[in-house]
């Protein structure tokens, strides 16, 4: 889901300035980022260190760890970037990709072991290792599973994109 966002006008006139597209801290949207000054206070107080400032806006780097939804980033933000109410899930979900070891008959359950919500379960199969199943309703998008996957077989997808591909 991370990448760069460019407006059509910027592309047409060749003045495109890339802006990170996320993932953003919990509750933060591309719209609310218009109020962000890039001060870095949210990144400074993040206990797991997953919030970084890229091109003046906060993004989440799940390779550093997971989000605990502690709310410190929102409490510390001097602008109206975060929603006023506490947030307990991201607007993205996790999707298993074909490179998943368990889907390729290799016994691995690292993602399940790391998931605090038990959103990833493994079901027995005949003649092979257990197969992963993701409960998207239980998944908060915290990212705990992402950094422990030995082959990077988990992807972040926007929940609206996920619904469109279902």
Quick one: DSSP state of residue 91?
Answer: S
pLDDT of residue 35: 94
pLDDT of residue 19: 60
> Could you give the CA distance from residue 91 to residue 109 in angstroms, rounded to a whole number?
25
Q: How much of the chain exceeds pLDDT 70, in percent?
A: 84
pLDDT of residue 101: 95
> Could you give the CA distance from residue 58 to residue 135 in angstroms, rounded to a whole number?
28
Domain residue ranges of the chain, discontinuous segments joined by +: 17-76, 92-164
> Could you give the CA distance from residue 106 to residue 77 in angstroms, rounded to a whole number?
44
Quick one: DSSP state of residue 71?
Answer: -
What's the rounded mean pLDDT across residues 63-87?
Answer: 96
Strand partners for 5: 19
What's the rounded mean pLDDT across residues 92-117?
Answer: 94
SS3 call for 57: strand
- Identify the CATH assignment for 17-76 out of 3.30.470.20, 1.10.150.80, 3.30.70.20, 3.30.360.10: 3.30.70.20
92-164 CATH: 3.30.70.20
Express each pLDDT in 36-61 by its tens digit: 999 999 999 999 999 999 999 999 99
Residue with tokens 């510390």: 76
Closest CA to 154 of 120, 105, 107, 126: 120
SS3 call for 18: coil
Closest CA to 104 of 81, 85, 132, 63: 132
- Identify which of 4-18, 42-56, 122-136 has the greatest average pLDDT: 42-56
What residues contact 21, with CB distance under 8 A and at least 6 apart? 1, 2, 3, 4, 5, 30
The CB-side HSE value for 79 (13 A sphere, CA atoms) comes to 15
Same fold, 17-76 and 92-164: yes
Reported as a pLDDT band with limits 50, 70 and 90, residue 152 is very high
pLDDT of residue 12: 63
What's the rounded mean pLDDT across residues 82-99?
Answer: 94
């Amino acid at each position: 889901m991370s990448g760069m966002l460019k407006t059509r006008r910027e592309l047409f006139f060749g003045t495109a300035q890339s802006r990170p597209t996320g993932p953003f801290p919990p509750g933060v949207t591309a719209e609310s980022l218009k109020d962000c000054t890039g001060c870095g206070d949210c990144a400074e107080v993040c206990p797991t260190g997953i919030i970084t400032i890229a091109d003046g806006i906060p993004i989440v780097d799940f390779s550093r760890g997971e989000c605990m939804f502690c709310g410190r980033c929102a409490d510390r933000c001097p602008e109206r970037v975060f929603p006023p109410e506490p947030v307990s899930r991201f607007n993205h979900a996790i999707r298993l990709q074909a490179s998943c070891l368990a889907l390729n008959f290799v016994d691995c359950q690292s993602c399940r072991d790391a998931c605090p919500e038990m959103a990833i379960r493994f079901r027995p199969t005949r003649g092979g290792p257990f197969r992963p199943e993701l409960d998207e309703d239980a998944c908060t998008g915290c990212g705990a599973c992402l950094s422990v996957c030995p082959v990077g077989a988990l992807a972040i997808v926007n929940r609206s994109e996920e619904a469109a591909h279902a």
